[in-house]
Amino acid sequence: MKKSYKDVMDRKSEIMKNALNLDYTKFEKEGIAFDYEYMMNYSGYTLDDVKKIQIENNIGNTPLIELKRITEYARKFSKKGYGARIFLKDEAANLSGSFKARRAAMSIHQAKKLGYKGVIAATSGNYGAAVAALAARAGLKCIIVQECFDSKEIEQPEITEKARACEAYGAEVMQLSVGPELFYQFLVLLEETGFFNASLYSPYCIMGIETLGYEIASEVKSKYGKFPEAVICTNAGGGNLTGTARGLIKAEAFDTKVIASSVDLTGLHMASDNDFNKKSFTTGHTGFGIPFSTFPDRSDVPRSAARPLRYMDKYVLVNQGSVFFITEALALLEGMERGPAGNTSLAAAFHLAQEMKEDEIIVVQETEYTGAGKHLNAQISFAIDRGIEVKVGNPLEEIPGKNIIFPTSGQYLKIKEISLNDLKKSYLKHYKGMDLLNTDYKYLSEELKCSEQLVKNIMEELNEE
């Protein structure tokens, strides 16, 4: 096989099909639409099947903890009768230390079932450690491809820590510089090894997270006689929110609001060599959250199963300093030292709880392990070394890549809300000028959780621009 960049990219559909043993053409419909639910159900796994697979691998049924002191702290800044109860699903209790183990369990199970000898995943995050850990349990070979350093060979401490974790579980880690070579090298490895593509965006990965949403809804209902009013999910590629929301629906928690939260890294380009090390967060930020919401099929499978706008009720942003602040608050008030990914949602939940009534429940749906390069001290030190100013002040004045601003107290921890209509418009720009079928409008209304008329209105506006 020819190995030039163009030649490999020309073969990418065939490579991805062989690496998942999944023919996505089965789900395609006339026009732009595809049958999302058919794709999700095609594997034949039921929710009970997924639960069983996860439990056999020491995954799931993680503690749901009421953060009483964090709630008490939030109520100091709420008007009388307000300040919702804040709960946290402690996913750090999973094998490998994060909710990503739920996804990896299904990828590894499917790979083993289909007879693959090994798995490959392209990730700089917790998913790599999860895939490596589950592959070790299954006796499969594992390669993790990381985008970890800039052209000066400077890598972030958090990514270094995750590479260490992957290697500890026996995986081979291939580290690359930021840029398009990651996807190219990933495809080359899939083709050369014949290994399974343990993609974050496969149906198996999303159904793995459905158990998380289902557990949250079931446990809150069992203990408190109602479903939570809101569940907040750290949003990057969209799979976390998608799977959690689908699990809530399967538990019949239809009225629970699903809120996305990302770290605001506006202005930093994730594929930029110059910007790569100016951020203090490698996941859960706008560099992934926005583009993967507005164009989910940019992933390493033909049709991504992570489609967050189908389920999102609100999208809020928090700054880097606020996430570090709430990370310290969680440790000092609750005795829980956890990593930044889940604390992105906790920072947003702390503010949102102040706008909710005190008898309402808001659940932060995940935590992650921390330590070494994942710890906030390592991240802040790295930022200072890169010339980033760290100070106390108004978090809303933080400029990503220039400074990190801690709030002076919880009173000043604020959020920004993103217009969902703006996101929907960005999504629909991909179809500007196209002659859409009636079935396309139905599909797009499902994709964007809105009426067909709103889709038509937005398309008319776009076509007139």
Tell me the pLDDT of the chain (465 aa) as tens digits: 789 999 999 999 899 999 999 999 999 999 999 999 999 999 999 999 999 999 999 999 999 999 999 999 999 999 999 999 999 999 999 999 999 999 999 999 999 999 999 999 999 889 999 999 999 999 999 999 998 889 999 998 999 999 999 999 999 999 998 887 888 999 999 999 999 999 999 999 999 999 999 999 999 999 999 999 999 999 999 999 999 999 999 999 999 999 999 999 999 988 899 999 999 998 899 999 999 999 999 988 999 999 999 999 999 999 999 999 999 999 999 999 999 888 999 999 999 999 999 999 999 999 999 988 889 999 999 999 999 999 999 999 999 999 999 999 999 999 999 999 999 999 999 999 999 999 999 999 999 999 999 999 999 999 998
Class level of CATH domain 53-96+204-418? alpha beta
pTM exceeds 0.75: yes
The whole-number pLDDT of residue 51 equals 98
The whole-number pLDDT of residue 180 equals 79
Pairing of strands 389-393, 257-263: unpaired
Domain ranges of the chain: 5-39+98-202, 53-96+204-418, 433-464
Cα(445)–Cα(442) distance, integer angstroms: 5
> Helices 203-224 and 100-114: crossing angle, nearest 10°?
130
Strands (E), 235-357: 257-263, 314-318
CATH fold, domain 5-39+98-202, is Rossmann fold (3.40.50)
Reduced 3-state DSSP string for 383-441: HHHCCCEEEEECHHHCCCCCEEEEECCHHHCCCEEECHHHHHHHHHHHHCCCCCCHHHH
Q: Do 5-39+98-202 and 53-96+204-418 agree at the fold level?
A: yes
